[in-house]
Structure 1
Amino acid sequence: MKNKLENGSSNIKSVAQIAGVSISTVSRVINKPESVSEELRNRVRRAIQELGYQPNQVARSLRTGSTRLIGFIIPDITNPAFLMMVKGAEDFLKRKGYTFMVCGTDHNVREEIKLLKALLSQNVDAMIVTCSGGQNSDFSRLVNSTKIKLVFMDRRYEDLNVPYVGVDNTAGVERITDYLIETGHRSLVYLSGERNTSSAKERLRGFINSVKKHRIEDFQVLYGKFTFESGYELVKRLKKIPQAVVGGNDLVALGAIEALTEMGHSVPEDVSVVGFDDMFYSKYSKPALTTVRQPIYQMGYTAGKILYQILTKGSVRKHSTILQTDIVLRETAKPRNN
């Protein structure tokens, strides 16, 4: 502590003295923490925090060829589902010594390209991306030309051959639509998110599979966005109110419930409404939302784990990782007596 008090600053030598370790150990904790035991990592990190030591990131990246910086590109930073995915990835990668930059595209593919270029200019080591559209050829070309290490999470561009972590969207929506039909619902509306995104297409496929399987002829599909406002606006446009509304996600479903209530329809007495995600707020809505639960945090954690394997080993054995969903029955769906 004498060096810090006398010089008014701290350096790697001071950190080593406080932690009772060698300078090389401090360097490994900073640059390659997985090579150091947890006990030593904690001692060094406490000393760094006590001294307020700030490693020179530029010098470190020149020396190691790595910034230990991960970029996230997601469609909407106000959507809790995307933030929970980021949290999962961050929780894994943080323990490996990485820091993060999170960017939102507002579902705009042009903004996606701008953010990709911005993150590349920051020399990020790798990226985790949730796509904003159905296709983005400029994005794919730039990824291929720069060879940036990348994992798709939740949504993907199918023309880009990179690892992907998602859920079985089709099976999840098909199962909850089966449940509605099997409990007497004979007229249904599906409120989709962005028409061409991979997750939206997969979920719509599940709905169509179910209504065709059960020979339901009275159904509609409306396209919007994966937002509360979109669910609200799409329901307001309906000329005929169905017995059941299937939301492309929980936000869409909750927006639909708000619109139905304003229009004088009771949920679930008049109309059943279901969603997809099972976000934390869904069980607290009034009435509590029946939905498809996807392992949102685990999706992000798995994406972080796969990205780390790519960073340390150069590749992964499994190209696509598909997690399973569950149906959560609550209060917004009620059997019909037809």
Structure 2
Amino acid sequence: MSAAPRKILHIDMDAFYASVEQRDDATLRGRPVVVAWRGARSVVCAASYEARAFGVRSAMPAVRAERLCPGAVFVPPDFTRYRAVSRAVREIMLAHTDLVEPLSLDEAYLDVSVNKQGLASATEVAQRIRAEIRERLQLTASAGVAPNKFLAKIASDWKKPDGLFVIRPKDVLDFLAPLPVARLPGVGKVMDERLAELGVRTVGELRGRALPELEQRFGRYGRRLAELAHGIDEHPVQPDRPTQSVSAEDTFESDLPIGAIEPHIRRLAEKTWAAARKTERVPRTVVLKLKTRDFRILTRSLTPPQPPASAGALIACALQLRDRVAADAVGVPADTLYRLVGVGLANFHEADDPLPQADLFAAAS
């Protein structure tokens, strides 16, 4: 006899930072709010739905957001306050199950196959959690209910904002079939283009491809693609899973020399910093990743005496690592061209952990 399907929730707070600002300042309600510092190097941390109507999105350069929505109200982020609200949301979740896996300050997976309140269904648990968030915190959350994590995450986005969507086990294959393959986890721009070359645009079309073909073309990820296309995801909810690393990377339209990648480093560092601020832990190590035109991967890392305290500090560290690559004339010829760059933060610790006194710098090739 096969095991009963898991009952997984994905709870996602709606426009979290912006919603907290609108909740706490009545003059902001109904107005396009952008949570970001003003300035050429700033990126959007969050945007209210009123601002999103103008095309403003998280991780977008703040100057572009201002052009898209000249009437937006810019509010500097207050992560201390957002973390406090996030803890209150977490307490509501933990009253229903101990199996809560936070992904960031504003979203989490929950396994409610068995729930503490003895509610009859996972849908009822999701409804109760959303109601408690609304009543206690005056905020809204969207929820997805499904037999596994990746489906629950797709479902939570289905009726945003303030929505609930359920994917029942018997409906999984029919639900997935018409979706673009880009909705599957791990299918980014490059993988989407590679699948398009095969004529695969939907999950249903992907499901029609034989496993040996997918493994031959995409290696181990080919098997993962086949499983996702069939709605299979065995990854369990992992409570209190600590953040290990956060990164952003980009493949260039054409290969670039080392001297031309600074704008990309700055943009990716801003994006990485915005993502890292969604965690309650502190990153101590900066990582720069480069891929050459012949697919050689170079990584350089730096652990400064004090953890980066701003996007500007992260950018400075990343550029220092770029300079280290540029100065390595023996290992990396000066005329090397690069096809990809990535900026990451790693070595996360709790905020109140003492700083280590060991070696402050590390590098790897």
The structure number with the bigger radius of gyration is: 1
TM-score range, shorter chain: under 0.3
Greater length-normalized contact order (CA 8 Å, ≥ 6 residues apart): 1
Question: When you count helix as a share of all residues, which structure comes out higher?
Answer: 1
Question: When you count strand as a share of all residues, which structure comes out higher?
Answer: 2
